[in-house]
């Protein structure tokens, strides 16, 4: 080991890499401790390491930010090239994540700090190109964790680069799709890497794109979505982080956050879980600045309508003569024309929405082609030739309007971005609101009704946010989310949709908070293969099949939800489905409160399964379930039934006051009770089929009711208490 290098006295090694070593050293002239990175010119990596040192010195020297490690100096002494950096006492973020050295909220704050450092670097033309947890140093300032971004050795500065175009630099797991595809990095590529780190923080270090080889990982990044999160990955964090993660990992760089500051703000808002209409999430981007209603008097409006006050009779004529930013006032009347809006204008009605009707003739009533359009206070009526509103990639704010049409109320094409405020969408055909590929919609208040196929349809890559909206009364499904589509519903009601309230198709995602899903002829929520759904503080009632129906490979998490009075099952989990319940109430359902069927898996914590007209919990063939701290009480049928091939673990559970048996174990089933209470069940505590195995008892169980077994003749026989009782 070196003892001294020029004016730097070597104290101890800090680390070693393929190209050199890093030491803790003391600057003998200034008397401060520094991190000294060195490379010997004679090594195989000498030329490349020297180039990287120069790059790192040039890049970091231009940056002076609290979340970027400061570079003090660069030079050569006795054939050894060295880089002198600020010494940060701590550990890297990778180690912190993997050893669980901090809570998720603290780790997320560190990512927000990294984003701030990147925003500063990007504003000065520096793209890092190797963002990963091991390049983030973490130290403590008092009780607060502080992040420092380091290692700009492969950074790109402005248009210059030591590598040729099309050459990758960095770590493949964190490379953005466009970087892998072209070899050209951008600020957005760095933000994609932050998205990968966000996934690692949530999962304890798991990568979103996995493969046995670098080529396999590359293929996953380019062609496939991130690996689905598991329910436990969202422990201790709000569900609002899901859309933030999805946007950060978007394949298209234009769909990601605009800059590091925006991503930092989104992470912090999600962690704080503060409802904020300004919050930037992929399912609800704010409208562009020009899509804000201009104040009265901002410009002299063009008046359309009959009478002495009208400037013209046709809205089409008014649009042809309007300038960008103009206001157009529709006087009361019925206008039959299809118009194309290709300027950022405001069109508003005089009087209420029923006094002014714009009805399409040759196509949609309104086609929007540009961002910044405002429609306010009138009725749009489509025809068999087109919907009431069509956005062909444009953006709009639609406020206090009524939309009607046999071909749909609103159709948002690819790339469109539309916000609805207090609007009524009255479908008279298949669809209420259609969100196309890569389109985005935000709907505040208002209602959608009458659709025969879907009130809200989100196509692949589309994103929707609804707050305080009512979707009701249609023969179709209330909300349908297709592959790679995303929908967030907050404070919404989906009522009377005959084909089901919410349907999530393969690889789709939904998040529901404070919603009511009521009275369908199928399921409150149907999660199909490989889909993901998160429900928080929701009510699922009156569904003929099931309150929640989870199919093969789907992953559903319910927190603090109430699943009540469904004529069918409360919650049914089918072939290889996965569900996690946390603090839920499952009550007074017609079928089993909980059905775990054919290879499905359930985890339930702090839940109640009570007052059902059938079984409380039915663990069927191949089903597996863990119930922790749950109560099963007052059910008309058996409290818990484990069928042949089923496996059930009950921990600190109470089974009481059932009108049948507390637990029924059939042959070839497995059940384990740990610190459970079984008492006051009308027929008995535990009933064993003729060839069933005894349950495994662990810890101090309290079983007050009789232990029964069916004999060869089918009669009930009381047997001796189990050992360990």
Q: What is the DSSP string of 315-350?
A: HHHHHHHPPTT-EEEEPSEEEE--EEE-S--EEEES
Phi, psi of 656 (to 5 degrees): -145, 155
Under 8 Å between Cβ of 676 and 700? no
Reported pTM: 0.61
Same domain membership, residue 248 and residue 156 = yes
CATH number at residue 235: 1.10.510.10
Residue 251, in any domain of the structure: yes
**Which are the contacts of 561, defined by CB distance < 8 A and separation ≥ 6?**
535, 536, 537, 538, 539, 540, 581, 584, 585
Where in the sequence is the domain holding 71, given as residue range(s)?
4-86
Instruction: Return the HEC string of 55-96.
Output: HHHHHHHCCCCCCECCEEEEEEECCEEEEEEECCCCEEHHHH
What is the CATH number for 39? Answer: 3.30.200.20
Find all residues with CB under 8 Å of 498, minimum gap 6, and list them: 474, 475, 476, 520, 521, 522
Beta strands in 485-621 (DSSP E): 486-490, 493-497, 502-504, 509-513, 516-518, 523-527, 532-536, 539-541, 546-550, 555-559, 562-564, 569-573, 578-582, 585-587, 594-596, 601-605, 608-610, 617-619
For residue 466, list its beta bridge partners. Answer: 443, 489
Considering the domain architecture, whether residues 108 and 22 belong to the same structural domain is answered as: no
Write down the pLDDT at residue 64.
79
Residue 400 contacts residue 374 (beta carbons within 8 Å): no
pLDDT at 721: 66
Q: Are residues 117 and 261 in the same domain?
A: yes
Q: Is 668 tagged catalytic? A: no
Tens of pLDDT, residues 704-721: 998 888 766 667 777 766
Do 149 and 102 share a structural domain?
yes
Looking at 49, 67, 86, the residue that finishes a domain is 86
Task: State the pLDDT at residue 283.
Answer: 36
pLDDT tens, 49-86? 566 666 656 666 667 788 988 878 777 887 788 878 88
* Rounded Cα–Cα distance for residues 588 and 609 (Å): 9
Distance between CA atoms of 392 and 358, rounded to whole angstroms? 19
* Residue 390, helix vs strand vs coil: strand
Is residue 292 one of the residues assigned to a domain?
A: no
Same domain, 103 and 42: no
Residue of 47, 73, 106, 130 marked catalytic: 130
pLDDT of 2: 74
Residues 258 and 210 in one domain: yes
Is residue 31 domain-shared with residue 120, that is, in the same domain? no
Total number of domains constituting the chain: 2
Q: What are phi and psi of 243, to 5 degrees?
A: -65, -30
Strands (E), 436-469: 440-444, 447-449, 454-458, 463-467
Q: Write out the two tokens for 357.
A: 């009707």
Which residues of the chain are under the pLDDT cut of 50? 43-45, 159-167, 274-299, 724-725
pLDDT value of position 161: 41
Q: Does 213 lie in the same domain as 259?
A: yes
Domain-embedded: residue 195: yes
Q: What are the structure tokens assigned to 605, written together?
A: 């914590």
Residue 25 and residue 153 in one domain: no
Which H helix or E strand runs over 114?
helix 104-123
Closest of 53, 28, 38, 29 to residue 1, by C-alpha: 38
Q: Is residue 679 part of a domain?
A: no
Residue at which a domain ends, from 198, 231, 266: 266
Half-sphere exposure (CA, 13 Å, Cβ side) for 308? 0
How far is residue 432's CA from residue 423's CA, in Å, rounded to a whole number?
A: 12
Question: Among the three residues 62, 86, 110, which one is the final residue of a domain in this structure?
Answer: 86
Beta-bridged to residue 80, according to DSSP, are: 40, 77
Please tell me the predicted confidence (pLDDT) of residue 559.
94
| 65 and 95 together in one domain | no
Question: Do 154 and 63 fall into the same domain?
Answer: no
Closest to 34 in 3D by CA, of 79, 70, 80, 6: 70
């Amino acid at each position: 080991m070196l003892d001294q290098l020029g004016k730097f006295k070597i104290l101890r090694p800090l680390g070693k890499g393929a190209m050199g070593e890093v030491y803790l050293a003391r600057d003998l002239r200034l008397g401060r401790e520094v991190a000294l990175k060195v490379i010997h010119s004679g090594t195989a990596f000498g030329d490349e390491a020297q180039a990287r040192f120069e790059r790192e010195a040039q890049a970091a020297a231009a940056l002076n930010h609290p979340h970027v490690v400061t570079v003090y100096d660069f030079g050569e002494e006795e054939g050894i090239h060295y880089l002198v950096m600020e010494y940060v006492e701590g550990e890297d973020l990778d180690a912190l994540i993997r050893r669980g050295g901090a809570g998720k909220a603290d780790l997320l704050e560190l990512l927000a700090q990294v984003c701030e450092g990147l925003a500063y670097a990007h504003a000065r033309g520096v793209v890092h190109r190797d963002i990963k947890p091991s390049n983030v140093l973490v130290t403590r300032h008092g009780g607060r964790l502080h992040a420092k971004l380091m290692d700009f050795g492969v950074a790109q500065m402005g248009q210059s680069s030591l590598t040729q175009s099309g050459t990758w630099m960095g770590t493949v797991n964190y490379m953005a799709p466009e970087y892998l595809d072209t070899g050209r990095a951008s600020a957005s590529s760095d933000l994609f890497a932050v998205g990968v780190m966000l996934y690692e923080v949530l999962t304890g270090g798991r990568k979103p794109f996995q493969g046995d080889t670098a080529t396999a990982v590359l293929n996953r990044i380019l062609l496939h979505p991130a690996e689905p999160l598991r329910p436990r990955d969202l422990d201790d964090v709000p569900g609002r982080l899901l859309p933030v993660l999805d946007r950060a990992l978007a394949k298209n760089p234009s769909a990601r956050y605009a800059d590091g500051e925006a991503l930092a703000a989104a992470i912090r808002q999600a962690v704080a879980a503060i409802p904020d209409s300004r919050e930037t999430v992929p399912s609800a981007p704010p409208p562009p600045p020009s899509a804000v209603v201009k104040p009265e008097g901002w410009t002299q409006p063009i008046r359309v309508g009959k009478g002495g006050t009208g400037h013209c009779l046709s809205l089409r004529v008014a649009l042809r003569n309007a300038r960008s930013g103009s206001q157009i006032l529709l006087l009361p009347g019925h206008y039959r024309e299809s118009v194309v809006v290709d300027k950022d204008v405001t069109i508003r009605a005089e009087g209420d929405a029923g006094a002014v009707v714009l009805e399409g003739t040759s196509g949609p009533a309104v086609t929007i082609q540009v961002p910044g359009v405002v429609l306010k206070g009138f009725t749009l009526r489509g025809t068999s030739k087109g919907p009431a509103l069509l956005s062909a990639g444009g953006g709009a704010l639609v406020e206090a309007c009524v939309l009607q049409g046999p071909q749909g109320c609103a159709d948002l094409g690819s790339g469109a971005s539309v916000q609805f405020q207090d609007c009524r969408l009255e479908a008279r055909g298949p669809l209420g609101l259609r969100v196309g590929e890569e389109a985005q919609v935000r709907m505040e208040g208002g209602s959608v009704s009458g659709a025969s196929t879907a009130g809200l349809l989100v196509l692949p890559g589309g994103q929707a946010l609804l707050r305080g909206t009512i979707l009701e009364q249609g023969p179709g499904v209330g909300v349908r989310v297709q592959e790679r589509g995303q929908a967030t519903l907050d404070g919404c009601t989906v009522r009377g949709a005959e084909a089901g309230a919410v349907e999530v198709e393969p690889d789709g995602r939904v998040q529901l908070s404070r919603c009511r899903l009521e009275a369908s002829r199928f399921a409150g929520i149907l999660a199909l293969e490989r889909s993901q759904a998160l429900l928080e503080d929701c009510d699922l009632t009156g569904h003929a099949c099931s309150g929640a129906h989870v199919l093969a490979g789907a992953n559903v998490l319910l927190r603090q939800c109430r699943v009540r009075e469904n004529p069918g099952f409360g919650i049914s989990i089918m072939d290889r489905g996965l569900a996690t319940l946390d603090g839920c109430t499952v009550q007074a359902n017609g079928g089993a409160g909980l059905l775990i069927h054919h290879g499905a898996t359930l985890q339930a914590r702090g839940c109640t399964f009570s007052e059902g007209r059938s079984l409380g919990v039915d663990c069927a063939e191949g089903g597996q379930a863990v119930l922790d701290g749950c109560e099963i009480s007052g059910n008309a049928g058996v409290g818990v039934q484990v069928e042949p091939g089923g496996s059930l673990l009950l921990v600190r559970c109470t089974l009481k006051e059932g009108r049948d048996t507390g637990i029924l174990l059939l042959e070839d089933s497995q059940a384990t009770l740990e610190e459970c209470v079984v008492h006051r069940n009308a027929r008995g505590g535990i009933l064993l089929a003729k060839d069933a195995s005894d349950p495994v008892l662990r810890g101090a169980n309290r079983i007050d009711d009789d232990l029964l077994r069916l004999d060869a003749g089918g009669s009930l026989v009381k047997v001796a208490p189990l050992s360990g009782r």
